[in-house]
Amino acid sequence: MTTESTNWRGVAVVGALMLGAFAFNTTENLPIGILKLMADDLGQSLSAVGLLVSGYGLTVALVSVPIAMVTRSVPRRLVLCALLATLFLASVVAALVSSYWVLLAGRLVTAVAQALFWAVMGPVAVGLFPPRVRGRVIGALSVGGSLALVLGVPGGTWLGQHAGWPVPFLVVGALAIPSFIVIATVLPTSRPEVGHAVRGVAPDTRRFAVVLTVTGLTVTGVFAGYTYISTFLVDEAGFSASSVSTLLLVLGITGIVGVAVYGRLLDRFPRATLTLPVTTQAVALLGLYAAGESQALAVIMIAFLGASLGPIFMATQSQVMHFAPGRTETAIAANSAAYNLGVAAGALAGGLLLPLISVRGTFLVGGLMTAAALLLLLEEQFLSLGRKERCTDDPEQAQGRHETKDPLSQG
């Protein structure tokens, strides 16, 4: 296979995976904007329809690692085609069968498919390019997922309000078709255990655990407050209810910009591209707590928050692949599980704290949790620097370090 054909195939596959990530992420959050429409049509309470979102995320969290391990020997082209076909069929069933329980079952099946999709798409895409551009590839995939909240969910909400809630499910499901075709026809056939992206570049169980902990702390912290950000903006900052969607759009746009910018820097500054967004997230959450009635400060902090969320998850995905003590798809699945558990735990914690410390207090708690994640990162970097200096003092260890150079020591 020539270099040109490899690059052409790689770009085509990455594009298909970006579209698949967009479709899966949009599907996951689609009911949020059309919750009342679905509840009225299906004859269910809002909390029952809300289970279509929370149950989805919890399923992703619970099955990510087990399903990645069970399917580790299955060819990736076959796996991805099966997952995209599942997304399409489940979306059609959800749109055509007017039954809450059928819809719930379809959502849970789709959640299982999404869990495995996120676990395998990173190693597949990265494996099609030289190791030196690994960060850029992961950044591109992250842009596809991030666009779901900026374009997918608002677009699905508008479509559902004008054409009925089943229509956006059909449209999003249809997006799986072009992705399926490209993957089926372009992705090379190879054994899952072959390629430079299959295992971690510098396996390190301790640093891998640190990254997973950072994911859990930052996500739990941000969703403790972010879940109730609409209430904060109206009741605390004094914005009108009609302006909330615009402010959330600002958050989404800055998120895409952040992912695009940090994605191009992941390969050159792997440490900084995690530490910096964790820092700005802590500043944003604590700043929202301190903002009070200052609308200008609230808008600035929302922009900071948007520029932090996506890059943090993207950077942790890159680092768990780097430090994976085993197969990279299992490492990514573990990080995805930590993320989704953090979403559920953060929303639950915020709900429990809300009557005790008010909505502003939830942002304080979230900011402190993110600050704890930042301290953990800085401590890990300090310990790594100490080990590097000790290796330098020992010629034999220094030689071994030179032979197995860790790119993440550069950032």
User: pLDDT per residue over 44-79, tens digit each?
Assistant: 877 787 778 778 888 988 999 899 888 888 888 999
Query: What is 3-186's CATH number, 3.40.50.2000, 1.20.1250.20, 3.40.250.10, 3.40.50.10680?
Result: 1.20.1250.20
Q: CA 80 to CA 190: how far, in whole Å?
A: 13
Token pair for 272: 């900084």
Across residues 167-180, what is the average pLDDT?
93
Across residues 215-234, what is the average pLDDT?
88
Across residues 140-151, what is the average pLDDT?
83
Token pair for 268: 């050159």
> For residue 411, which of 258, 242, 273 has the smallest C-alpha distance?
273
Per DSSP, the three-state class of 321 is helix
Q: CA 192 to CA 208: how far, in whole Å?
A: 22
Q: What mean pLDDT is reported for the chain?
A: 84
Indicate the domain borders of the chain. 3-186, 205-409
User: pLDDT per residue over 303-348, tens digit each?
Assistant: 999 999 889 989 998 898 888 888 888 889 899 899 888 888 888 8
Residue type, 175: L
Domain at 205-409: CATH code: 1.20.1250.20
Per DSSP, the three-state class of 155 is helix
The answer to whether the CB of 217 falls within 8 A of the CB of 50 is: no
- Confidence tier at 3 by pLDDT (50, 70, 90): very low
CB atoms < 10 A from the CB of 191, how many? 10
- Asked if 3-186 and 205-409 have one fold, the answer is yes
- Confidence tier at 133 by pLDDT (50, 70, 90): confident
Per-residue confidence (pLDDT) for residue 401, from 0 to 100: 44
The answer to whether the CB of 58 falls within 8 A of the CB of 319 is: no
- Confidence tier at 190 by pLDDT (50, 70, 90): low
DSSP state of 131: G
pTM over 0.75: yes
Instruction: Check whether 381 has a pLDDT greater than 50.
Output: yes
